[in-house]
Structure 1
Amino acid sequence: MAYIPPHMRHSKDPQRPSPVPEMLVPKFNGNLNLGSPNNNADMSGKIVYADHAISRWFAVGLDEDGSLPSSVHLEPFSVDTVEHKRGAKPLALVNNNLAKDNDKVCGNISRSTWESVAENVWPDVLSACKIVKNEMEENPTLVARFGHVLFRRNNFLSLENVREEDLVAETALRQFKRSFYTNVPATYMEKIINEVVPKIGVDFEGYKDIYHVKVELNQVRRMVADIVYFDENLDLRLALYTKSTLFALSDDEMNSIRILINLAILNPKVKGGLRWPIGKSYSGNYRVVGVWHQEVKSYKSPSLKVKVRNIDRFRFKSGNGEAIIGINLKFRRIVPEIQDGEIDTDSIYNGFKDNLSLIWDHFLGQFVI
């Protein structure tokens, strides 16, 4: 069944009717997390990195000398929002010798693969957790996301230059600006829900249908590691982040946010599902910069939490939006155990490796997309 964006769906369930264009009367979130603001946090919708953030990428499947296999090439990757903003498609590393459906063995990924990823990423996880603990009381969150590592075109460097100059691939490609695109096919989402979830011991937690109005501060990234795996159709991002917090708001500021939320109008025909009357998308010092409509299914166990999200979003500044499917895997125990300091590091590391083994076996090596 083809994926239908949330704003185009029509519900047959009388208990959950399709949204209609009417005034939205949501409950204002009185549980705002108020505290000390982070220096790099802003309200513009930009991605925010902490002052000492760790951000790097590496590839699994390089040749012994660290160079890219001859079958791997940088090829254009279609993302409408990126093309609209920059006028050109981003690039992704593509393996032209990727095994066909009949040749691929599901889940047959060597232990050394995920162990090497663990060895590469673990020092960064420990370092980022230590920095956060010294700066603030809150525990950060460690998650895994699935999608594609994308590189922005570089007019002064091409993959052919990398090969001709015999440069180490990971070093050379750092000269390209990169991003991580988290959209996955509907077939992947269905496989995760129907086949993977029952196997990995997570139980259904709940369903949420949420509208996000972007007037709050962003998450702050503390550590990001992007892993390209040439023998699979999806790449992996491991990210450690903390929630940005708002300093104590005045009564006037709180009222301005309430006014914005109360003026929102439900409209299932537009991206993001919400719009504001002309001239009413700002109040006081606050302006709506974007809206997200999310339908989220959550599954959890004591050690993991899986979120399957249908996301429909719209950015007012650029005037464009997109509907994507995202799969998030949250490591529930790793970071609290590091922060508490009551369990030896080797035991926590073994748990981290077990989680990566599960990811490789069930989330990356299951099937051809």
Structure 2
Amino acid sequence: MSYIPPHKRQLKDPVSPSPFPDSLATKVMKNTDFKSSSVKVNIAYSRDAIFKWFLIGSKGISDEVPPSIKLVPVSSDSSDSRYGEKSFVLMNTNVEKENVIAEESEEEERTRWMLIAEKVEKDLVVAYEQAKKGMQDHHLSDNAKLRLVARFGKILFRRIHAGPVTEYWQAKSSNRTFCTDVPTSFIQNIKSKAIPSHEFCIDLEKEVYVVQISHYTRPHSTIICKCTVKEDGSLSMYKAELNPLRHLVVDVSCIDKNLDMRFMLAGKRKMFTLTEKERSNIQRMLDSVTVDSTVKGGLTWPHGKPPSENGYTIFEVCHVRATTYKNKTLRLRVRETNGYSERFGTWEVERGVTLILQDINTKLQEQNIERGCVLEMLRDALGTIWDFLHCDASLT
């Protein structure tokens, strides 16, 4: 499959609002309404969640938006159908940028990229401390699991008025999302270059169905049911979780590359409050769903619509094929999903790459953390992330 430039590709999977750099954070955060969307997307944030955004190019981290950075609309057939509004991406219109990059050595560019570690190290430690305290206060330590990840994709912007990028970011109506869909050619480069060079080996391959369920008494929560297929073609739930609680989100716009990066700390929350009756109600819904690889999302509904049971309703399904790799300090998840949203009436096939930063995650949950050690581990992790992003450099 030939590569389509980011500003012409259909980019999906909206996630959270994109945060802001230190130089703009205070002013913009006060003027931005993160709940302005008319569509309710159940993304949970902790009370003290930290948001950051960085713009980085060949010259390092930018504290201001360069004049050459413009918002470019995606192609007309690639609008963000979940919101019914056109999406935009950032593009560096400087025609000399390729010449500038060519003059830079790979090591110099990599060194400047790792300056992000100094920018986020303090916030990362604080976010872990707040997350651990929150779990202790609510006695959730045995039912929540913190996970630090790096995701690759593209930051999308939506707007309803014209204007410069800086003005757009400061507008109350601004909405930013992160699309985790990446080109097939990027994944091929990851497998042929980054995986061997960083000594990853296959750890696990799995195929599951993820069913998202809502209940009218919990309008702001999503129950995520992970299922396997039974012999009769129906689903069997082996795990139920609440939608993850996000504590830290750092978005990085890589203006000289085709992809961006999101750095995120979130807590996976087990559904320890489900009663036997609730589990039974959910399983009865799943029993009425049939696996069918020929349809959108891979599942068919009885009577053509999602089933409901005692206030529970299925509103989104996803068929996931994933391969997990591991080395001494990291886990790498490469997945392909075929999802269908009844809530938005959309169908999406996506490919994603996620790095799970295991060693840092373990270190930051210790008592009396040595900040110098954390900073060094963070630099190492960002070096690996840069190597993954660099796999996209050959895509044209």
Q: Please classify the TM superposition score into its range, dividing by the shorter chain length.
A: 0.7 to 0.9
2:37 maps to: none
Unmatched tracts of structure 2, length 5 or more: 4-39, 136-140, 214-222, 224-241
More strand by share: 2
Moved over 4 A (4+): 62-65, 78-82, 102-109, 171-175
2:117 maps to: 118
Partner of residue 145 from structure 1, selected from 137, 142, 151: 151
- 1:281-328 alpha-carbon deviations (Å, 9 max, x no partner): 111221101001111011001210001111111111111121111000
- 1:239-263 alpha-carbon deviations (Å, 9 max, x no partner): 0000133242222211111111111
Contact 2:306 2:315 in 1 (8 A): no
Q: Which residue type is aligned with residue 232 of structure 1? A: K
TM-score (norm 1): 0.78
- 1:69-110 alpha-carbon deviations (Å, 9 max, x no partner): 33321001259685323333211111133538x959895552
1:223 maps to: 248
1:32 maps to: none
**Percent of aligned positions with the same letter in both sequences?**
28
Q: Which residue type is aligned with residue 74 of structure 1? A: L
Distance of aligned partners of 1:109 and 1:230 in 2 relative to their CA distance in 1, 3 Å threshold? farther
In 2, distance between residues paired with 1:258 and 1:211? 14
2:216 maps to: none
What displacement does 1:175 show? Answer: 7.1
Q: Which residue type is aligned with residue 143 of structure 1? A: V
- 84-93 vs 138-147, greater mean Cα deviation: 84-93
Match runs of 1:39-50 below 5 Å: 46-50=42-46
In 2, distance between residues paired with 1:345 and 1:78? 45
Q: Which residue type is aligned with residue 69 of structure 1? A: P
1:131 maps to: 130
Q: Which residue type is aligned with residue 133 of structure 2? A: N
2:163 maps to: 158
Distance of aligned partners of 1:174 and 1:299 in 2 relative to their CA distance in 1, 3 Å threshold? farther
In 1, distance between residues paired with 2:51 and 2:157? 14
What displacement does 1:152 show? Answer: 1.5
Q: Which structure is higher in RCO with an 8 Å CA cutoff and minimum separation 6?
A: 1
SS in 1 for 2:274: coil
1:74 maps to: 71
In 2, distance between residues paired with 1:173 and 1:143? 29
1:56 maps to: 52
SS in 2 for 1:207: strand
Q: Which residue type is aligned with residue 116 of structure 2? A: V
In 2, distance between residues paired with 1:346 and 1:196? 27
Q: Which residue type is aligned with residue 73 of structure 1? A: K
In 2, distance between residues paired with 1:181 and 1:270? 23
What displacement does 1:274 show? Answer: 0.7
In 2, distance between residues paired with 1:64 and 1:132? 28
TM-score (norm 2): 0.73
Q: Which residue type is aligned with residue 180 of structure 1? A: F
Distance of aligned partners of 1:173 and 1:214 in 2 relative to their CA distance in 1, 3 Å threshold? same
Partner of residue 92 from structure 1, selected from 80, 84, 89: 89
In 2, distance between residues paired with 1:94 and 1:65? 14
Q: How many residues align?
A: 320
Q: CA RMSD in A?
A: 2.9
Match runs of 1:195-210 below 5 Å: 195-210=193-208
Distance of aligned partners of 1:106 and 1:198 in 2 relative to their CA distance in 1, 3 Å threshold? farther
Unmatched tracts of structure 1, length 5 or more: 4-43
In 1, distance between residues paired with 2:353 and 2:76? 18
Distance of aligned partners of 1:116 and 1:245 in 2 relative to their CA distance in 1, 3 Å threshold? same
